[in-house]
Amino acid sequence: MRDDGGSGKETIFTLEATPLKYGPGASEEAGWEVARMGVGRVMLVSDPGVVEAGITPRIREYIEAEGIEVEVFERAHVEPTADSLQEAADFAVEGDFDGFVAVGGGTSIDTAKVSALIATHGGEIMDYVNAPVGDGRKPPGPLKPLLAIPTTAGTGAEATTVAILDVPEQRVKTGISHQFLRPKRGIVDPLLTLTMPPEVTSSCGLDVVCHAAESFLSKPYDARPKPESPDERPPYQGANPIADMWSGKALEYGGKYLRRAVADGEDVEARGAMMLGASLAGVGFGSAGVHIPHACAYPIAGLKHEYRPAGYPDDHPFVPHGWSVIVTAPAAFRFTYSAAPERHRRVAEMLTGERIENADEDTLPEILIRLMQDVGAPRGVRELGYDEEDIGDLVEGAMKQQRLLVGSPREVAEDDLAEILRASMENW
Ligand SMILES: [Fe+2]
């Protein structure tokens, strides 16, 4: 592109993607894919819901049919902690596996990433967790291979290099992030999502839309200072032309198909587009990065556990990830508008599939609010169990996510976050 002209700004960006196999019925080729990775003994990570739905046993059969040994670990937790991940990692170490398969939502895939990490390089979970919460140790080399098979259309975890975990003692959500955590391959099969309830579809789909919108609107990569060495280049690099393509397509799909996937779970075309959209957005945000709505989502999901979402197993109250993110998105993008009006207009256009001549700071927020209403999202932060008195705590929690907030196109201080959260109590 161009050199930095002596400004000390970044001139380089990277784009990496998981090789994906996509299409209705693609999961039937799981055994063939595992065999091709040269693996003879597999730890299959899943969660009880996906096992009960019959998906995990079916994938197991496909893999065993290739003469590969499979042991199932079905205790991936919805909100993984260092302890729950350590349990999976211990299983991985003791089982002496040479490869991993994840079948489930983001948490199953993240659990498998961490299991592969510890099984390959040893150590404890907290050694690798991002500093300052953990020691921030980098994996010294590639991990044993992981095949990721998502069963929700949301996190894009099959395409990303992070594993997210809750650290209840420090009241913070953080993660392990390194390019070696990226799964070796992914199989994206829309038929696996047909039974997903409308509420889950809504939350996951809105997460996809936010991944794509936040990435597209993130501070451009060449506005960052140049790192001292390639090792210090952050995983979230900021908006760049290639990430824009992936995010842009995901925005188109989200705007066009999410309503349909929520209204009719058996609409295979809509399910397929949302699932593909999740992977596309995963690649986009794996390069560019997410910022304000995701930073606010961590404390919204982490501080209170009172909300009981419909459509999810009611064993414990929690805020589904996508909903914790979308509730502050309208106010966040109203705040960031002045930093890049033209790009905000583009996001609004891609979501609606229409040309918008006269956009202002309310255009994109209003389009997002209409989408939220149409797919039954919560009205705002208040509905999730918070009121004005909680704003201080929520701001404090969001400020801990500096890793994300540095990607905001407009510099964001505590007062700004407080204003965004206040405006997000009720979006309509
Ligand atoms: Fe997300």
pTM confidence score: 0.92
What is the CA(137)–ligand 1 centre distance, in A?
24
Question: Distance, CA 110 to ligand 1 centroid (Å)?
Answer: 13
Q: Contacts by 118-122 with C-beta closer than 8 Å and gap 24+?
A: 118/89, 118/92, 118/93, 119/43, 119/89, 119/92, 119/93, 119/95, 119/143, 119/144, 120/144, 122/93
Tokens matching residue 239: 């908006």
Q: How many angstroms does the Cα of residue 38 sit away from the middle of ligand 1?
A: 32
- Phi, psi for residue 23 in degrees, rounded to 5: 145, 160
Q: 105 near 155, Cβ under 8 Å?
A: yes
C-alpha of residue 298 to centroid of ligand 1, in Å: 10
The candidate with the shortest Cα–Cα distance to 128, out of 75, 183, 165, is 165
Rounded distance from Cα 40 to ligand 1 centre (Å) = 33
Q: What is the pLDDT of residue 304?
A: 81
Say how many Å lie between the CA of residue 58 and the centre of ligand 1.
28
Structure tokens at 108: 């199953």
pLDDT number for residue 133: 84
Is 70 exceeded by the pLDDT of residue 5? no
Percent of the chain with pLDDT over 70: 98
The phi, psi pair for 389, rounded to 5°, reads -65, -20
The residue that leads in pLDDT, 6 or 34, is 34
Q: Which residues pair with 100 in a beta bridge?
A: 43, 146
Range with lowest mean pLDDT among 279-288, 322-331, 411-420: 279-288
Per-residue pLDDT, 7: 81
pLDDT value at residue 169: 80
Distance from residue 357's CA to the centre of ligand 1 (Å): 30
pLDDT tier for residue 80 given thresholds of 50, 70 and 90:
confident
pLDDT, tens digit, for every residue of 93-137?
999 999 999 999 888 999 999 999 999 999 999 999 988 888 999
Q: Compute, in angstroms, the gap from residue 363 CA to the centroid of ligand 1.
A: 23
Residue from 131, 140, 170, 181 nearest 298 by CA: 170
Dist. CA 52 → ligand 1 center (Å): 25
333, amino acid identity: F
| Residue 166: strand pairing partners | 81, 173
How many A from CA of 321 to the centre of ligand 1?
Answer: 6
- Is the CB of residue 407 less than 8 Å from the CB of residue 236? yes
Query: How is residue 226 annotated by DSSP?
Result: P
Residue 289 · residue 169 · CB < 8 Å = no
* pLDDT computed for residue 51 by the predictor: 93
Cα of 294 from ligand 1 centre, angstroms: 7
pLDDT tens digits, one per residue of 339-395: 999 999 999 999 999 999 999 999 999 999 999 999 999 999 999 999 999 999 999
SS3 165: strand
What's the confidence (pLDDT) of residue 315? 67
Residue 145 and residue 33 in contact, taking contact as beta carbons nearer than 8 Å: no
Please write the tens of the pLDDT for every residue from 172-227. Answer: 778 898 889 999 999 999 999 888 899 999 999 999 999 999 999 999 999 999 99
1 pLDDT more than 70: no
Contact 49, 76 (CB under 8 A): no
Q: Which domains does the chain have, with CATH numbers?
A: 26-188 (3.40.50.1970), 198-423 (1.20.1090.10)
- In this prediction, residue 3 carries a pLDDT of 59
66 CA to centre of ligand 1 in angstroms = 35
pLDDT digits (tens, 9 = 90+) for 255-293: 999 999 999 999 999 999 999 999 999 999 989 999 999
β-bridge mates for residue 104, sequence order: 150
How does pLDDT run across 292-326, given as a tens digit for each residue?
Answer: 999 999 999 888 878 888 887 766 788 999 999 99
Please give the share of the chain, as a percent, with pLDDT higher than 90. Answer: 76
Mean pLDDT, the chain, whole residue set: 93
pLDDT at 2 over 60: no
